[in-house]
């Protein structure tokens, strides 16, 4: 197993407070707390109503720019809250405030529990709102939409990396996973228009809160840094990453009824779920909730449709 990528910059509360003082001084005295360490960003809560997304490595900086450029246009079309930046932070050369080389964002703070930390059986009530979200998002993207070489692409583009990862990090399910991958990779490619794709639609990027009779409702979808255009099957992998068989069945039925998802797309989504499950299981051993998503996903993909 291997850990998440190391930070290229140590994002501390002191660094962030200095950037706020120089660029958004009216917010600089609000309480500030580091709340999450992601692969690409540090997340800090700012006061009661705001949060900051601060890139911890150069790749994350590019992803933050995608959110800043595209979420304001996409969010009004979506049926759930998203982290549309309310303010933007710019790179600093250190002449005014601390040096920091990348763009950063101030976004709304959303109350709610990370779905990855909820019991899987309780997530079934999220099948309908999550289906409504992907149906609303998966619309034709403009020609200048971001391009992500790791999402929304043909399965063949992930073949070599997938095999290398399995070879480098053998899993108990190795043979079964390879057999499943061999069957699914031959699925016909997406031949429709390039659609908007969230790119990282797993349960750690979903927030839920109790609604009627304590049933979980989808309160927000976060982390749009991997947003891209292409085949939406990579988003639909969330059927295996988020749900059990019952929840997955409802999610699949609702998405299929509403949009473009046919049998071939679900087969590609199944293959993407294999890719993501292996990735999370073999790279997130130091982030328990992400590792748990991968372990759950492996069990689900091998259980079948």
CATH of the domain at 179: 3.90.1200.10
Supply the range of the domain harboring residue 277.
113-303
Which of 40, 74, 108 is the last residue in one of the domains?
108
Structural domain contains residue 6? no
Dihedral of CA 44/47/48/53: which sign? negative
> Among residues 247, 147, 141, which one has the least CA distance to residue 203?
247
Terminal alpha carbon distance of the chain? 27
Series of mean pLDDT values for 10-residue runs along the chain (305 residues) = 78 96 98 89 96 93 93 97 97 95 97 96 97 98 94 97 95 96 97 97 96 90 95 98 98 94 97 97 85 97 89
pLDDT of residue 36: 85
Residue pLDDT, tens place only, 207-245: 999 988 779 999 999 999 999 999 999 999 999 999 999
Structural domain contains residue 3? no
How many whole angstroms separate alpha carbon 171 and alpha carbon 119?
24
Same domain, 18 and 129: no
- Which DSSP string corresponds to 269-301? HHHHHHHHHHHHHHH-TTSHHHHHHHHHHHHHH
Structural domain contains residue 234? yes
Same domain, 103 and 127: no
Domain count, the chain: 2
Same domain, 127 and 153: yes
pLDDT of residue 213: 78
Residue pLDDT, tens place only, 291-305: 999 999 999 999 977
Same domain, 187 and 92: no
Residue pLDDT, tens place only, 156-177: 999 999 999 999 999 999 999 9
């Amino acid at each position: 197993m291997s850990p998440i990528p190391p930070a290229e910059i140590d994002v501390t509360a002191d660094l962030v407070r200095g950037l706020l003082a120089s660029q958004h001084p009216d917010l600089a005295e609000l309480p500030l707390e580091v709340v999450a360490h992601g692969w690409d960003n540090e997340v800090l809560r700012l006061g009661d109503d705001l949060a900051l997304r601060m890139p911890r490595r150069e790749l994350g900086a590019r992803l933050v720019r995608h959110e800043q450029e595209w979420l304001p246009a996409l969010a009004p079309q979506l049926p759930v809250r998203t982290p549309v930046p309310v303010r933007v932070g710019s790179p600093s050369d250190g002449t005014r405030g601390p040096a920091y080389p990348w763009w950063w964002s101030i976004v709304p703070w959303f109350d709610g529990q990370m779905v990855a930390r909820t019991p899987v059986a309780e997530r079934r009530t999220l099948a309908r709102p999550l289906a409504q979200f992907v149906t609303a998002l998966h619309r034709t993207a403009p020609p200048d939409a971001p391009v992500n070489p790791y999402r929304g692409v043909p399965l063949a583009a992930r073949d070599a990396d997938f095999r290398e990862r399995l070879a480098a990090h053998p899993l108990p399910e190795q043979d079964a996973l390879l057999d499943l991958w061999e069957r699914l990779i031959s699925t016909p490619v997406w031949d429709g228009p390039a659609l908007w794709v969230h790119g990282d639609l797993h349960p750690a990027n979903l927030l839920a809160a109790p609604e009627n009779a304590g049933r979980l409702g989808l309160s927000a979808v976060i982390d749009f840094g991997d947003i891209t255009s292409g085949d939406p099957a990579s988003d639909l992998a969330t059927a295996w990453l988020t749900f059990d068989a019952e929840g997955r069945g409802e999610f699949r039925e609702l998405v299929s009824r509403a949009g473009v998802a046919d049998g071939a797309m679900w087969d590609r989504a199944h293959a993407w779920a294999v890719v993501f499950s292996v990735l999370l299981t073999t790279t997130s051993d130091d982030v328990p909730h992400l590792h748990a998503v991968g372990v759950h996903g492996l069990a689900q993909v091998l259980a079948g449709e």
